[in-house]
Amino acid sequence: MRRASAPKPLSSALVLLLLAGCAIAPPTPRAPIDAEARRVVDRLTVGWQEFHDLRALADVSLKRGSERQRLSGVLLARAPASVRFEALSPFGQPFLLVTIHDGRITAYNAATNEARVGAATVETAAELLSLPVEPEDLVALLSGRAAPPKDLRVAEILAPDELGPSINLVGRYNRQRVWLDFETGVVRQVTITGGRTEATVTFQRGGDGALTGFDLTAGNGYATGAVRYRSLSLNAGVDAERFALTLPKDAKINSIR
């Protein structure tokens, strides 16, 4: 039986979501946060704290330069910083597995029996994924939310544009512009800037406001994609053990430095 070919690890949905500039800029000096901006930050924080876990079938379409891919798989996420994505072959067998858990990132290609393993840090993301973003940011985005930076240095309300009101959040490693309803806290779009370029995630929601997926653009439009959820379940309970990935003993393991 011919084995389904697997995409390169750097073509996965998780990587595309984080694809942007390369260098980590020096930290921005801290600035006073006024009452209105603080209220919006608190609203985002409450929304993030309400999230516990997610499970869904995810249909992914990706375009990176001239390369196009379509993947379907199982996505699990658990606050604060655990992710597991299993891309499935047409026969229902996982051929690409990516996990972030306990501060480690593992990407395993079953077709080649190769894995890349390393620390899931901002520095690793900047080197491997080309955008300095923490695992918490990724989990928040997958759940349709925005997690304010833990080391928040600047928070300022920006003038409304065609997308509506937004807030600029500057942390130690990146800058987020978050468009949201200031009263309900529902996030419409997030642009994360780090290094020389940026990545934008635009959330898709049904008529009832439920999250149905997101569109994304990164690398100044070089990489684009769409993720659509099926059978999405929020806060139904996903055990931490689901994010542990045991590699085959004969797998070729390359370290992410």
pLDDT in tens, the chain (257 residues): 444 444 444 445 555 554 433 455 667 888 899 999 999 999 999 999 999 999 999 999 988 788 888 889 999 999 999 999 999 988 888 889 989 999 998 989 999 999 989 898 766 665 555 445 688 998 999 999 999 998 999 999 999 999 999 999 999 878 999 999 999 999 999 998 876 667 899 999 999 999 999 998 887 777 888 999 999 999 999 999 999 999 999 999 998 77
Residue 48 half-sphere exposure toward CB, CA atoms < 13 A: 21
pLDDT for 64 equals 79
Q: For the domain that residue 202 is a member of, what is the CATH number? A: 2.50.20.10
Distance of CA 257 to the CA centre of its chain: 21
**Residue 196 forms part of a structural domain:** yes
For the chain, the domain total comes to: 1
Q: Are 45 and 205 in contact (CB under 8 A)?
A: no
Strands 67-78 and 104-109: unpaired
Residue 192 forms part of a structural domain:
yes
* Residue 252, in any domain of the structure: no
* 64 located within any domain: yes
219 with 19: CB under 8 angstroms?
Answer: yes
HSE of 35, CA atoms in CB hemisphere, 13 A? 0
151 assigned to some structural domain? yes
At 158, list the tokens: 């920006």
Residue 110: inside a domain: yes
Q: Contact at 8 Å (CB) between 203 and 189?
A: yes
Q: Is 227 exposed, middle or buried (0-12, 13-18, 19+ CB in 10 A)?
A: buried
Within a domain: residue 249? no
Domain that holds residue 229: 9-236
Q: Examine residue 257 and state whether it is found in any structural domain, yes or no.
A: no
